[in-house]
């Protein structure tokens, strides 16, 4: 297996370096023709980051070899898809935001060099509510290797592949079941939409990565106080604030709520640990300016009227909009919108909504998701019944974000894309459901086998007594 993965990695990297430059279709932006054909730098950056991540995962004392294989496999799939999108200029078809982030990331790099015009353009873009984290990330990468959109895609591919490993570790931390952890890790590694969004120059990949990392750090801190995971938690929360501010508020409340409830039975030691975590995280985020930034964002975007305007635009301007007549500007209107919004968030696009090629190619994976949903319910029921404290950060966050998206999402395409932020955690419960059924089936077979053996022993004893 290791030899196969190594060979595939060499082949894919070779194709990217030598074959892709001849396939790239140039396009033009404000700065002139853009080709981005220096693929060797992108591959080198990807290899460096993947080596660091792979070394960290391989150091896991029990599952290191499996985690390394899972990471590399997930990375190669994303690299291949991302390269195809890049080579044939498919960014506009799959995710036009990638071109936007490329433009403003390069503008930010120019702004750091003293160009006031481009810095003003970036400031206006960020002030519109777009997280500055992705702009800074693109600018930083361009500052190291030059303007190269493929490099952004490959960096996101590393983050997407690493997310599969983090979900594995999170599931193992909660359930102590290798089957559940492996199934959840495989689902995140290879589920088509999760691969798609994390192999492009979009901020979805980093957001999902930092969400998963925040949950893992929370679970680890709930078991044992660790300065390493305190730093990871604070860093992940701050990163989420920079990428998508409202997701930060929800994960912060989920983390805080989990420590208030307690991830373990309450003792003096656990209470002290939880208090230290809450105080440290709160003071550190305050020092980083989160409260000031939060007040500004909430004042500008934290009203139902603003949500209504945003939702109306999304539902009326696009062909895939739904329920354009609903009004979420009041509390009653928002609450009555939740059922139809939640239905579309969880299950759309439906077959009757497949009005274009881009929507139609989602059907195979949607069939997989629809058939897996009963397992989600079963796994969630088991988790709430037997692991409520441990799953509290995941449960609080997924419920809050699911309800929030069901209110202000009015577009099937956007709901499908942002579902990725929830799917990585949903798949943990799906894995629990599948393993419960599998183990129940195994137990039934063991009972049947034991009954047959008992019957055979009775018959043998009866025959021997007659003799």
Task: Please give the full DSSP string across 295-321, using - where no structure is assigned.
Answer: HHHHHHH-SHHHHHHHHHHHHHHSTTB
- Compute the distance between CA of residue 52 and CA of residue 230 in angstroms, rounded to an integer: 21
CB 155 within 8 A of CB 209: no
- Compute the distance between CA of residue 453 and CA of residue 311 in angstroms, rounded to an integer: 64
178 closest CA partner among 61, 63, 70: 63
pLDDT of residue 467: 59
Q: Regarding beta strands 27-29 and 32-34, do their DSSP bridges make them parallel or antiparallel, or are they unpaired?
A: antiparallel
How remote is the C-alpha of 408 from its chain's centroid? 20
pLDDT of residue 3: 75
Mean pLDDT of the chain: 84
Taking residues 350-357, report their average pLDDT.
Answer: 71
pLDDT of residue 437: 92
CB 202 within 8 A of CB 159: no
Cis peptide before 138 (omega within 30 of 0): no
pLDDT of residue 104: 92
3-state helix, strand, coil in the chain (%, to 5): 80, 0, 15
CA angle 180, 174, 53 (to 5 degrees): 75
3-state secondary structure of 27: strand
Task: Tell me the pTM.
Answer: 0.91
3-state secondary structure of 284: helix
Taking residues 360-383, report their average pLDDT.
Answer: 90
Tokens of 333: 């209107």
233 closest CA partner among 277, 203, 291: 277
Facing residues of 411 across strands?
Answer: 321
Query: Does position 79 have pLDDT exceeding 90, yes or no?
Result: yes
Under DSSP, the state recorded for 354 is -
Query: Does position 45 have pLDDT exceeding 90, yes or no?
Result: yes
417 vs 198, higher pLDDT: 198
pLDDT of residue 229: 93
Query: Among 35-39, 204-208, 248-252, 342-346, where is mean pLDDT lowest?
Result: 35-39
pLDDT of residue 110: 92
H or E segment to which residue 415 belongs = helix 412-418
Query: Does position 318 have pLDDT exceeding 80, yes or no?
Result: no
97 vs 313, higher pLDDT: 97
Confidence tier at 206 by pLDDT (50, 70, 90): very high
Which stretch, 111-125, 200-214, 352-366, has highest mean pLDDT? 200-214
Confidence tier at 303 by pLDDT (50, 70, 90): low
Confidence tier at 286 by pLDDT (50, 70, 90): confident
């Amino acid at each position: 297996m290791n030899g196969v993965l190594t060979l595939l990695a060499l082949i894919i990297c070779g194709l990217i370096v030598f074959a892709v430059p001849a396939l790239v279709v140039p396009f033009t932006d404000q700065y002139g023709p853009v080709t981005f054909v220096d693929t060797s730098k992108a591959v080198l950056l990807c290899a460096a980051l993947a080596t660091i991540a792979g070394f960290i995962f391989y150091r896991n004392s029990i599952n290191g070899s499996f985690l390394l294989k899972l990471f590399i496999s997930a990375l190669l799939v994303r690299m291949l898809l991302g390269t195809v999108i890049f080579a044939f200029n498919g960014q506009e078809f799959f995710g036009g935001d990638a071109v936007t982030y490329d433009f403003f990331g390069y503008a930010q790099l120019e702004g750091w060099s003293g160009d006031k015009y481009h810095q003003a353009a970036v400031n206006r873009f960020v002030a519109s509510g777009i997280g500055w984290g992705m702009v800074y990330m693109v600018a930083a990468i361009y500052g190291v290797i030059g303007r190269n959109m493929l490099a952004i895609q490959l960096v996101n591919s590393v983050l997407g592949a690493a997310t599969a490993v983090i979900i594995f570790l999170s599931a193992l931390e909660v359930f102590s079941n290798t089957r559940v952890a492996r199934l959840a890790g495989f689902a995140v590694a290879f589920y088509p939409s999760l691969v798609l969004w994390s192999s492009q120059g979009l901020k979805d990949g980093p957001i999902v990565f930092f969400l998963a990392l925040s949950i893992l750090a929370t679970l680890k801190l709930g078991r044992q106080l660790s300065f390493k995971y305190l730093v990871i938690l604070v860093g992940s929360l701050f990163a989420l604030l920079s990428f998508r501010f409202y997701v930060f508020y929800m994960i912060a409340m989920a983390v805080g709520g989990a420590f208030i409830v307690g991830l373990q039975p309450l003792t003096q030691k656990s209470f002290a640990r939880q208090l230290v975590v809450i105080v440290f995280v709160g003071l550190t985020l305050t020092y980083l300016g989160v409260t000031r930034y939060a007040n500004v964002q909430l004042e500008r975007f934290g009203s139902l009227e603003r949500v209504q305007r945003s939702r109306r635009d999304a539902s009326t301007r696009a062909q895939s909009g739904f329920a354009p007549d609903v009004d979420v500007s009041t509390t009653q209107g928002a609450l009555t919108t939740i059922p139809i919004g939640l239905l579309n968030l969880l299950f759309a696009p439906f077959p009757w909504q497949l009005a274009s090629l881009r929507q139609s190619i989602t059907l195979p994976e949607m069939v997989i998701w629809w058939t897996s949903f009963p397992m989600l319910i079963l796994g969630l029921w088991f988790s709430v019944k037997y692991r409520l404290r441990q799953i509290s950060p995941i449960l609080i966050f997924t419920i809050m974000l699911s309800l929030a998206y069901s209110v202000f999402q009015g577009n099937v395409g956007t709901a499908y894309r942002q579902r990725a932020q929830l799917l990585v955690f949903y798949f943990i419960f799906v894995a629990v459901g599948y393993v419960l059924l599998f183990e129940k089936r195994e137990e039934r077979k063991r009972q049947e086998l034991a009954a047959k053996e008992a019957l055979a022993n009775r018959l043998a004893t009866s025959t021997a007594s007659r003799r």
